[in-house]
Amino acid sequence: MSDKRSRVLLVVVVLLVAFAILTYFELIYASKWLTFNELWTAISRENSVYRIVVNFNVKRVVVGLLVGGALAVSGAVMQAIFRNPMASPYILGLSSGASLGAATAMLFVATSATLMLTVPLFAFVTCMGTMLLVYGLARVGNETHMETLLLSGIAIGALLQALVSLLTYMAGDKLSDIVFWGMGNISGVSWSEIGIIIPLIITGVAVAIYYSKEINAMMMGDAHAMNLGVDVKKVRLILLIFVSMLTAAAVCFVGTIGFVGLVVPHIMRILIGPDNRTLIPISFLAGGVFLVGCDYAAHIFSQSLGVLPVGILTALIGAPYFIYLLRRRKREVGW
């Protein structure tokens, strides 16, 4: 017990230190590295040139933390309630669903005045619709087979992604915006957009934590959870709604960022165990740190490469690391 508690504490401390260091380096990076004094001047004085730059950097850190955290929590919850290591917002097609809604809103519906509200709303509606469709397709009678769930997620995801590509193709003069957004990019989000996703993400994470004990029971199987007094159908429906909301909030202004929701909860489960009471909050923090870190790398590379979408980096880092972990740890701790 105490061994486990100290491990959890260690992980939290490491993550917080990593977050602090990343934040500091992100803040001092303004096409060159500022010294601490220059950073202080930029923050404290009204008229500094660097003030704007620092403002941009603060935004990247905030968005990275929120979006990375939201994706990681969605992944943690989905892996648990579907009892499937491969479940994640990306694999089950939710990210594509949310993308389709957001892209539709951007291209056809929204005028610039209403864009900020219609994009997340559309993203949520299509994301939820995707979830219901995937889950409904996988359901035979009263049972949901996990393989069928993954396959229908992949199939629906591919279909939706094709629709997003079609929209992109039709985008005309908005083409570069949409393409860039589609690859996952957290540097272009405005403060008011952040103001919209913050309450959504906080609510979603809070609901996941509220039900963490029920999620633990559901990880053993529906029959086990029911016998421990969990109203499985109700709790699963509530969680699916809020996971869709989290995914939509993460995707709507930022685009599709893969592998955070798959890899982060998986690694955290290996480090601190599967108990969702600690796993969910720590996954939020870890997802945030992971995405802020990837975004910092993207930021630095952008000097030579132009603005680099962070989604490319998360996939480049996430996919091989996941394969490595799977090979090495599979037999020791299951998944």
Residues that bind another protein (CB under 8 A): 1, 80, 83, 85, 210-211, 213, 216-217, 219-221, 223-224, 226-231, 269, 273-275, 333-335
Rounded least distance, CB 230 to another protein, Å: 7
Rounded least distance, CB 285 to another protein, Å: 19
Toward another protein, which CB reaches closer, 137 or 226?
Answer: 226
Toward another protein, which CB reaches closer, 79 or 96?
Answer: 79
Rounded least distance, CB 237 to another protein, Å: 15
Rounded least distance, CB 244 to another protein, Å: 21
Toward another protein, which CB reaches closer, 191 or 231?
Answer: 231
Rounded least distance, CB 87 to another protein, Å: 12
> What is the per-residue burial (b if ≥16 Cβ within 10 Å, else e) of 300-328?
eeeeeeeebbbbbbbbebbeeebeeeeee
Given the DSSP bridges, would you call strands 139-140 and 32-33 parallel, antiparallel or unpaired?
Answer: unpaired
DSSP 28: T
Integer distance in angstroms from the first to the last C-alpha of the chain?
A: 21
Rounded least distance, CB 274 to another protein, Å: 4
Query: Which one, of 103, 124, 83, 73, lies nearest residue 291 by Cα?
Result: 73
Q: What is the largest CA-CA distance in the chain?
A: 66
DSSP 173: G
Toward another protein, which CB reaches closer, 45 or 233?
Answer: 233
Query: Which one, of 313, 311, 317, lies nearest residue 179 by Cα?
Result: 311
Burial grade of 219 (CB within 10 A; 0-12, 13-18, 19 or more): middle
Toward another protein, which CB reaches closer, 55 or 227?
Answer: 227
Rounded least distance, CB 333 to another protein, Å: 5
SS3 30: strand
Rounded least distance, CB 205 to another protein, Å: 14
Toward another protein, which CB reaches closer, 16 or 231?
Answer: 231
CA distances, 53 to each of 103, 243, 299, 323 (Å): 28, 34, 12, 37
The sign one gets for the Cα dihedral 286, 123, 215, 311 is negative
Toward another protein, which CB reaches closer, 45 or 277?
Answer: 277
Q: How many whole angstroms separate alpha carbon 134 and alpha carbon 155?
A: 9
Query: Which one, of 162, 159, 153, lies nearest residue 93 by Cα?
Result: 153
Toward another protein, which CB reaches closer, 84 or 126?
Answer: 84
